[in-house]
Amino acid sequence: MDILPSPQQLRYLIALSEQRHFGRAANVCSVTQSTLSAGILNLERQFDVAILDRTAGKRVVFTPIGEEVIIQAKVALQGLESVRDVIHFVQEPFSSSLRLGIIPTVAPYILPDVIRNIRHNYPKLTLSLHEDLTENLMEKLAIGHLDLLVIAMPCDCSGAETFFLFKDDFFIIMPKDHPLEQFDRIRLDQIEAKEIISLQDGHCLKDQTLDMCRQGQNFKTVSDSHNDFTASSLKTIINMVGIGLGVAFIPKMAIESEIGDRSDIVVRPLDGNPTCRTIGLAWRRNSLRASEFKQFEKVFQNLKI
């Protein structure tokens, strides 16, 4: 016995499970009702299994085994589609659509250049953008609502395949006339935990700077709620620093556009290891477009940051 279900049979079954109606399901499959009905019956006869519960009057009700078969049928059909898709993606990369996710602490600073580069390099690519926190992006990636992410590491990216792009140094900013202003470089242990202003929970940049501090020599503990300010954007943080509420860590890519030549804020590089985050790409494991995505590296080179 080596008979396998045919792609049509699977399509008929899945359409029926979605429509719960032979006529509509047949319509979805662009066949007549009799064809779809016969297809389902063939499937049942070939494998000697009751997929539909025909005691349930005329409503479409699946047996428990039927439900299991439907689940596997979806997986199998996906596999068949992958065969078709891999041909398309390998043969004609950069010619379909790309749903790109990007985190809020990166998006404003590289997106203009990135979009320009993509439009220039891959004019056939239909781009759609989604800005959200890492956790939400990862979720959307996993369920197939997004194709590719731009994230900052370290972060929880288990389940996704990641690809290094570049490093982004952290700087410390402080109000003018702050005691630390006299130093050219600031060591992490010179900074007082309680005067640090950071982003709201969920932003990976907050976790990254906190980790950095914890690893700093004299920084024993950094409380999660060391002050009452919460900000959801770097712009707000910078304004808080500007009016003297504390100091903050800002990634290099944000400095020029957010601070520019403000005279009320002083920027200093950090001493310590590591004092940067890593910007990278992430995609679903086993994505058919992995090789396409890797080539996106060049879109992220020569950015003005």
CB of 255 to a second copy, least distance (A): 40
CA 41, CA 38: separation in Å to the nearest integer?
A: 5
Nearest to 122 by CA among 132, 110, 130, 114: 114
Interface with a second copy includes 3 (CB under 8 A)? yes
Find the distance separating the first CA and the last CA of the chain, reported in whole Å.
63
Interface with DNA includes 61 (CB under 7 A)? no
DSSP-assigned letter for residue 302: S
CA 146, CA 140: separation in Å to the nearest integer?
A: 6
Residue 49 interacts with, from DNA, a second copy, none (CB under 5-8 Å by kind): a second copy
Q: Please, which residue, 6 or 72, has the CB nearer to DNA? A: 6
Q: Which amino acid is at 291?
A: S
Contact region for a second copy (CB under 8 A) — 69-77, 109-117, 118-126, 246-254? 69-77
Q: Please, which residue, 17 or 134, has the CB nearer to DNA? A: 17
Q: Which amino acid is at 186?
A: I
CB of 48 to DNA, least distance (A): 15
Residue 78 interacts with, from a second copy, DNA, none (CB under 5-8 Å by kind): a second copy
Among positions 52, 77, 245, 303, the unique one binding DNA when judged by CB under 7 A = 52
- The two three-digit tokens of residue 105, written as one number: 């602490």
Interface with DNA: number of residues (CB under 7 A): 24
Contact region for a second copy (CB under 8 A) — 17-25, 80-88, 120-128, 135-143? 80-88
Residue 86 interacts with, from a second copy, DNA, none (CB under 5-8 Å by kind): a second copy
CA 107, CA 300: separation in Å to the nearest integer?
A: 12
Whether the bond between 274 and the residue before it is cis, its omega within 30 degrees of 0, is yes
Q: 30 CB contacts (<8 Å, ≥6 apart)?
A: none
CB of 49 to DNA, least distance (A): 13
3-state secondary structure of 40: helix
Q: What is the DSSP string of 239-283?
A: HHHHTTS-BEEEEHHHHHHHTTT-SSEEEEEEESS--EEEEEEEE
Interface with a second copy includes 91 (CB under 8 A)? yes
CB 213 within 8 A of CB 224: no
CB of 181 to a second copy, least distance (A): 45
CA 79, CA 151: separation in Å to the nearest integer?
A: 28
Among positions 27, 35, 95, 96, the unique one binding DNA when judged by CB under 7 A = 35
CB of 122 to a second copy, least distance (A): 20
Among positions 49, 56, 61, 142, the unique one binding a second copy when judged by CB under 8 A = 49
Q: Please, which residue, 72 or 223, has the CB nearer to a second copy? A: 72
CB of 35 to DNA, least distance (A): 3
Interface with a second copy includes 69 (CB under 8 A)? yes
CA 130, CA 146: separation in Å to the nearest integer?
A: 8
Interface with a second copy includes 79 (CB under 8 A)? yes
Interface with a second copy includes 82 (CB under 8 A)? yes
CA 172, CA 184: separation in Å to the nearest integer?
A: 11
CB 262 within 8 A of CB 195: no
CB of 119 to DNA, least distance (A): 40
Interface with a second copy includes 80 (CB under 8 A)? yes
- What would you report as the CA-atom Rg of the chain, rounded to the nearest whole angstrom? 27
Q: Under the rule (CB under 7 A), what is the footprint of DNA?
A: 6, 8-9, 21-23, 30-35, 37-42, 52, 54, 57-60
